[in-house]
Amino acid sequence: MLFMVIEHFDQARVKEIYARFHEKGRMAPEGLTYLDSWISADFSRCFQIMQCDDVTLLQEWVLAWGDLARFEIVPLASSKDTAAAVKKHL
């Protein structure tokens, strides 16, 4: 399953976040796959697409970074799959 992860950063801690990333990497547990990400121009948010079949892997990952960021995690469905589901009810 795909998830949009929105990380909210304290802008005063951005250098700490990147220092940890350079030192320890993404720290994603096995089974949690990073697909892509985008950073807002003001460094206040990171938007990541992650993939996994077990939501507890996301929880484990959040715990590794929770001291430096606040997380929103949104399950995603593709537009194609959503359109097909909606079509059944039209």
pLDDT tens-digit series, residues 22-39: 999 999 999 999 999 999
Residue type, 13: R
Average pLDDT over residues 69-84: 96
Residue 64: what pLDDT?
96
- Say if pTM beats, i.e. exceeds, 0.95: no
Residue 78: what pLDDT?
94
Q: Which residues in 56-70 are b (16+ Cβ under 10 Å) and which e?
A: ebbeebeeebeebbe
Token pair 């059944």 in the structure block, residue: 88
**Does residue 5 contact residue 51 with C-beta atoms inside 8 Å?**
no
- Domain spans of the chain, in order of start: 2-88
Q: Cα–Cα distance between 30 and 83 in angstroms, integer? A: 32
pLDDT tens-digit series, residues 36-72: 999 999 999 999 999 999 999 999 999 999 999 999 9
Q: Cα–Cα distance between 84 and 87 in angstroms, integer? A: 5
Instruction: Using alpha carbons, select from 82, 80, 36, 32 the residue that is nearest to residue 60.
Output: 32
CATH architecture of the domain covering 2-88: 2-Layer Sandwich (3.30)
Q: Which two tokens stand for residue 44?
A: 């206040």
